[in-house]
Amino acid sequence: MEQAVLDIRDVSKQFGTFKALRHFNLNIRRGDIYGLIGENGAGKTTLMKLITGLSPMQKGTITLLGERVGSHQQALRRIGAIIESPVAFEKLSVEQNLKLSAIQHGLSGSSYIDQAIDFVGLNEKRKTQAKHLSLGQRQRLGLALSILHHPDFLILDEPINGLDPSGMMEFRNLLKRLNEELETTILISSHILTELYQVSTRFGIIHRGTMVKELTKNELDTANKAGYVVTVDNTPLATQIMDQAGVGPFEVTNKHSILIRNESLDPSQINSLLIQGGVLVSDFRQQEGSLERYYLNLIEGQNSKETIND
């Protein structure tokens, strides 16, 4: 049985009247690179702060590496994290910042520091003060600080924000190496789905404080398949007709749209079927595969559900 590194159950967090997280559940298994996707303000940073104890718990439970968050801090010794943005002592050099962190973690000898600097490729900058580093180099220093003590679990809050394309690629490769070479489980958040797609093995889509969908990379690939989007006036009737005709697979993406994930079908035949069945078809178009579109459709669907519920 795969062991859970992180188990979040029914967690809610409220700031005044604003509900940042609502009955949130999440389970991350050892070896995962879990991509948490959500717009700004969706609740990603709040969640990460709760996991790391930087924000007090209100409702629910979080179990981190077998230890309940809030009761002890021992599990924190086995994690590394960059929350919001990497912070370092500006006037200390890269090496001195790492030395300081090594002392805090009770690590002796310089091998940990050398390994971390080598790993993130900051050898040429090891004597440079943190304040003189570029944004990408600061991100790498942040990563070096968080992996210095060889954590079992790494939590990264929007680490690719502000990086240029080559910086993003480098960072992505670093994360893959960490996961493969050091077997580090990683939770990484971003609002850029395409970037997470390239590095994550599992995905969670968070919207307005709730987990909208969890899926593996294979499931996302399937979900991301190109197909036909049919816009109709009566979705239940349309799905009933398509079911009877054996058209599929398909998915109702919002109140009036159905995504048919079958590119080999004959669109005119489906169109006729629907019209004959009394469904008004206002649009019928082919959709290219797009992660962003998939994400937006999902969010749009969620928004529609919330509107109906309201």
Partner 1 sequence: MINQMRADLYRQFHTVGFYILLVFTIAFSLFLTLTQQVGGIMVTDDNKAKQLDTLSHSPWSVLSGLKAVTMSTSILPYAFIALFIIVIGYEFSQQTYKNTLLSGISRLQFIGAKYCVLLIDLLALTLVYYATSLLSSLSAGREAGESWDNLIADTIIMTLAIAFFMSVIFSIGIIMLVSTGSSIVSVVLIVIWPVAISMLTVYAHWSWLKYIDFVTVGLNVAFSIIPIKQLWPYIGVSALTLAVTIIGSSIIIQRKEL
Task: Indicate whether 90 belongs to the interface with partner 1 (CB under 8 A).
Answer: yes
Segment contacting partner 1 (CB under 8 A): 34-42, 51-59, 181-189, 211-219?
A: 51-59
Task: Indicate whether 88 belongs to the interface with partner 1 (CB under 8 A).
Answer: yes
Minimum distance between the CB of residue 55 and partner 1, rounded to whole angstroms?
5
Among 17, 71, 106, 288, which residue interacts with partner 1 (rule: CB under 8 A)?
Answer: 106
In the shown chain, the binding pattern of residues 5 to 44 toward partner 1, with x for contact by CB under 8 A and - for none, equals ----------x-----------------------------
Among 8, 144, 145, 223, which residue interacts with partner 1 (rule: CB under 8 A)?
Answer: 145
Please answer whether residues 153 and 64 qualify as being in contact, where contact means their C-beta atoms are separated by less than 8 angstroms: yes
Measuring CA to CA, which residue among 225, 228, 224, 234 is closest to residue 284? 228
Rounded-to-integer distance, Cα 18 and Cα 218, Å: 35
Task: Indicate whether 74 belongs to the interface with partner 1 (CB under 8 A).
Answer: yes
Rounded-to-integer distance, Cα 125 and Cα 113, Å: 13
For residue 262, the SS3 value is: coil
Task: Indicate whether 92 belongs to the interface with partner 1 (CB under 8 A).
Answer: yes
Segment contacting partner 1 (CB under 8 A): 23-31, 104-112, 169-177, 283-291?
A: 104-112
CA 284 to each of CA 257, 266, 297: distance values in angstroms, whole numbers, following the listed order = 10, 12, 16
DSSP notation for 28-94: EETT-EEEEE--TTSSHHHHHHHHTTSS---EEEEEETTEEBTTBSGGGGGEEEE-SS----TTSBH
Task: Indicate whether 83 belongs to the interface with partner 1 (CB under 8 A).
Answer: yes
Minimum distance between the CB of residue 158 and partner 1, rounded to whole angstroms?
15
Minimum distance between the CB of residue 47 and partner 1, rounded to whole angstroms?
13
Segment contacting partner 1 (CB under 8 A): 22-30, 89-97, 261-269, 301-309?
A: 89-97
What backbone phi and psi angles, to 5 degrees, belong to 202? -135, 155
Rounded-to-integer distance, Cα 207 and Cα 38, Å: 6
Please answer whether residues 72 and 78 qualify as being in contact, where contact means their C-beta atoms are separated by less than 8 angstroms: no
Minimum distance between the CB of residue 233 and partner 1, rounded to whole angstroms?
47
Task: Indicate whether 103 belongs to the interface with partner 1 (CB under 8 A).
Answer: yes
Rounded-to-integer distance, Cα 208 and Cα 301, Å: 13
Q: Which residues contact 224 (CB under 8 A, 6 or more apart)?
A: 289, 290, 291, 294
Segment contacting partner 1 (CB under 8 A): 58-66, 87-95, 168-176, 237-245?
A: 87-95
Task: Indicate whether 105 belongs to the interface with partner 1 (CB under 8 A).
Answer: yes
Residues of this chain that bind partner 1 (CB under 8 A): 15, 49, 52-56, 73-77, 79-81, 83, 87-92, 96, 99-101, 103-106, 145
